[in-house]
A and B are shown apart, each in its own frame.
Chain A
Amino acid sequence: MSVDIQRTARSQVTFRAIAAHAILITYTLIALFPVFVIVINSFKSRNAIFREPLSLPNAESFSLKGYETVLKQGDFVLYFQNSLIVTVASLTMVLLFGAMAAFALSEYRFRGNLLTGLYLAIGIMIPIRLGTVAILEMMVASGLVNTLTALILVYTAQGLPLAVFILSEFMQGISDDLKNAGRIDGLTEYTIFGVLVLPLIRPALATVAVFTMIPIWNDLWFPLILAPAEETKTITLGAQVFIGQFVTDWNAVLASLSLAIIPVLVLYLIFSRQLIKGITAGAVK
């Protein structure tokens, strides 16, 4: 009797596990499919792309023409470098300033604490693109148009609200006793922040890093408006040169997109171990 119940319970657990995995695998396949199509087609000749877009490249259809075009177009390396500089610099600033603001908001009682927190959180709900015109005017006035600095500043502003919000939630969870023990041992507030608090919120930092990084890397809007000059183009903007009004060099577009995936993938892998901890932090004690 009790064995039966156990068996039913166990088979129910197995069934649930299978169902959950089936759903997750299906979702993964759907999400990866476009990426997969882009990557396989970037290795095919133009004709093959249109004839059989879903087939893998074979001896007959294999072609590296797209990659040749992209690499021959000398600026491509520069675009790549621009994207990397903008993303990494913005990410660093968002994480550093976000963590500092979050520490101040969660650790110190001061007049206007709550108000400041709310003010910073409003940025999550109002898209920064609504302010594009004003931002452009400001950049023109300060002579920052067509510089990477302009992009870095805008992306830092764009990323900060969510970073402050998530990080201060996490920081509130860190025991006061630990910070107080540090104070009694004579650690400065900066050391407490850097040595005691930051390592404990590493998963949260990684989560914020991933959520901040991807929209910046993929953004087409601000590079187009604030920094469209040849020497400041980012990769997403650079790839547009192959899309013409009348003729589009599909080989080159697909090749440049495939290449553009690599750096984010690397950054993502760096953060992902921490990220998994971050996502499950609340759920699994």
Chain B
Amino acid sequence: MQKLLELKDIVKSFGTHRAVDNISLSMHPGEKTVIIGPSGSGKSTLLRAINFLETIDSGSIFFEGHDVGYRQFKGKQVLDKPKIICKLRTQIGMVFQHFNLFPHMTVVENAMEGQVTVLKTTKATAHDVAMSMLEKVGMSEFADRYPSSLSGGQKQRVGIARALSMKPKLMLFDEPTSALDPELVGEVFATIKQLADEGMTMIIVTHNMGFAREVADQVVFMEDGSFLAKGTPNDFFGTQCQDPRIQSFIDRIF
């Protein structure tokens, strides 16, 4: 089966600091990858690079088999034209740690905005799609509320619905629950789990081991910009953990 996403030797530096250092990763459709790792290890930078919110220094990103997002210009690798980048982004949904909902729009307008403005769907169609996505995340009854009146967990579920409304092929979650009160984490994970069960391809950055274990096909442990270890949840959370660095990180978490 063709890979949905393939990263080859991605490098991203801030000044002299290599935030992402030579990372490669393959994702087949329907696969779920969980990235774990200490703070500052480059997890967010990697996710943002996949969505072209960060411009990588070198390496390539293949989406549905095509080398995308960058072109050669005067012997240097530069980001492709904005139009092409925007098109690519519509196929990749992103969910942010701090939700980043549009506060001046109602819940349903948040989920309609991308469809109407970017995809040029009619308002009626956009509304139908938005409502069905809100239904999926259990937020349809809040459609006409403004984000400021929602709890953190509700906000994040709207954030997921907003991303889903674009009908993306890949979903990126950057610590979707770390800004939430503990009692609200469950509802968001339930929503993501449901999405996973429906076959969505996704990359999830999280510190929640229990969730990683439940949802992941593949777990990667990232430190100092590189993947230190890759494996199945069982490799990580099973009894026979080989790598002392993974072991020490897991010890720190629990």
Q: Do A and B come from one complex?
A: no
Q: Chain B residues in contact with chain A, CB under 8 A? A: none
